[in-house]
Amino acid sequence: MSERDQQEAVAAVERAMVAIRRSQSRRSLGRLVPPGGGRVIDPTLFGVLDAVEERDGACSVTDVATALGVDQPRASRLVVRAVEEGWVVRGVDPVDARRTLLGLTAAGREQVDRTHRFRQQVFARVMADWPDADRTEFARLITAFVASFGRVARGADAS
């Protein structure tokens, strides 16, 4: 592959990632109504739940801020909203009583599971007419891309 072809491929990926980001906006997701008439959760607020789920019992507001790429005050406001919704609970770190840890409530876990199922249904519809091999290859490639992006982003933060 020539250098020009490589540059065009990278530019195509960049455009696709921007399009994905725009398609995940609150407004566009709001047009997709979950089965059973449930409401679509604000993607930013779901990010809080997702960060807490990922850390599984050892999540702080700082971890949420890092996961969402926002400052501490914004993360705190989002956590407060998640607590008000009844999805997140604050607790004291058993190792360091000065530190507050976040956990998912039963309702929060239910919301996370419901949102994952909803998104997976949307993605399945999007790829419904793709050959099985293409779906499998796309899953492999996008997973590798996200992992590599994370490594590069962490390296950029360290410099």
Residues 73 and 127 in one domain: yes
Residues 73 and 3 in one domain: no
Task: Round to the nearest angstrom and report the end-to-end CA distance of the chain.
Answer: 31
What are the pLDDT digits (tens) for 119-153?
898 899 999 999 999 999 999 999 999 999 888 98
How many domains does one find in the chain? 2
Residues 136 and 80 in one domain: yes
| 92-107: average pLDDT | 89
Residues 83 and 24 in one domain: no
What residue numbers bound the domain in which 7 lies? 1-31
Q: What is the DSSP string of the chain?
A: --HHHHHHHHHHHHHHHHHHHHHTSHHHHHTSPPGGGPPPPPHHHHHHHHHHHHHTT-B-HHHHHHHHT--HHHHHHHHHHHHHHTSEEEEE-SS-TTSEEEEE-HHHHHHHHHHHHHHHHHHHHHTTTS-HHHHHHHHHHHHHHHHHHHHHHHHHHH-
What are the pLDDT digits (tens) for 54-91?
988 789 999 999 988 899 999 999 999 999 999 999 99
Residues 70 and 16 in one domain: no
Residue 32 pLDDT exceeds 60: no
d(CA 45, CA 126): 24
Residue 114 pLDDT exceeds 70: yes
104 within 8 A of 51, measured Cβ to Cβ: no
Residues 25 and 45 in one domain: no
49 within 8 A of 107, measured Cβ to Cβ: no
